[in-house]
Amino acid sequence: MTAPWQTQVSLKPFNTFGIDVQARYLVHADNDDAVRQALAGAAERQLPVLVLGGGSNLLLTRDVDALVLHMASRGRRILSDDGEQVVIEAEAGEAWDSIVQWSLAQGLCGLENLSLIPGTVGAAPMQNIGAYGIEIKDVFSGLTALDRQTGELQEFSLQDCAFAYRASVFKANPGRWLILRVRFALRRTLEPQLAYGPVRQRLQEQGVEQPTAQAISAAICSIRREKLPDPAMLGNAGSFFKNPVVSVACAERIRAAHPGVVAYPQGEDGVKLAAGWLIEQAGWKGYREGDAGVHSLQSLVLVNHGQATGAQLYALAGKIQDDIRTRFGVDLEMEPNVY
């Protein structure tokens, strides 16, 4: 059955910033055939296609004169289980945190540090999402994608994906592959990743001496709820800027002027700076222009207080970038995709 095409649809419910722009056409695709049919229909009409998952990593600055293909596939399953390592697979349209919580309910470990990240499974490899010391690449087993140039299905291994910090082969080649389902290699024995200090501290506060995967997930959820606004209450896309990686010399120059700079070694030649710290030091925390603003508790998060347009948020982001470049000599890169 062909998925119906809707016309002139508001995308406000489909992006976590809550930006009210119109899509010329919208199709909800809940299986591979629906995806193929939608792409074929767009090709016949010579329409561009915008693939949309949870809309949690997207800033819409204008109406979308295209077909918006909403990935609505659902499903999760265990593919293999040798008693210790378990490979699971999830469809692209599944909400990311639902898969994390489902895996924990199965007694599986590995995704707990990635709890409560917004978005969908299909979007996760695009950005190589990460949090609290873990990235997708650390638990990745493979994925199936549709090659939009050939119409063929292609399997991707870890090496094929070219994962890097908030980057992948899919992000480097936008419009080429459409991710349909993703596989993860999890374990039944917990190998806790607790390098991030606040997580250890939260577990101690909760009296947890021997943490389980569920306890780590709960601690991270509580931290995220305190630090990051709920998009249902205050429009946002989570962290808006990537943490910049700079040279050792640049980091030392900044440290000489600002001894409290938050920085982490990144290999032998680089240092990762906390973008949120830079933005807060520059005085942007809690700043507001109309309904476009910077969150009052987390300076890395841009927020829509109600009626902000995507263009207004994009302009605010540009001002922050210019200021950080002038003050610190550091370029901040936006994390969300901008349309």
User: Can 252 be counted among the known catalytic residues?
Assistant: no
Residue tagged active-site, from 89, 112, 135, 335: 335
Residue 236 pairs in a beta bridge with 303
| DSSP for residue 5 | P
| Tokens at 36, concatenated | 């193929």
User: Can 166 be counted among the known catalytic residues?
Assistant: yes
Closest of 120, 122, 130, 127 to residue 16, by C-alpha: 120
3-state helix, strand, coil in the chain (%, to 5): 30, 30, 40
Which residues have CB under 8 Å from 243's CB, separation 6+? 165, 272, 273, 274, 275
User: Can 335 be counted among the known catalytic residues?
Assistant: yes
Residue tagged active-site, from 166, 181, 183, 202: 166
CA distance 53 to 58: 10
| Tokens at 225, concatenated | 């709820």
CA distance 268 to 270: 6
Residue tagged active-site, from 103, 168, 239, 299: 239
Q: Specify burial of residue 227 (Cβ count, 10 A radius: 0-12, 13-18, 19+).
A: middle
The residues assigned a catalytic role are 166, 239, 335
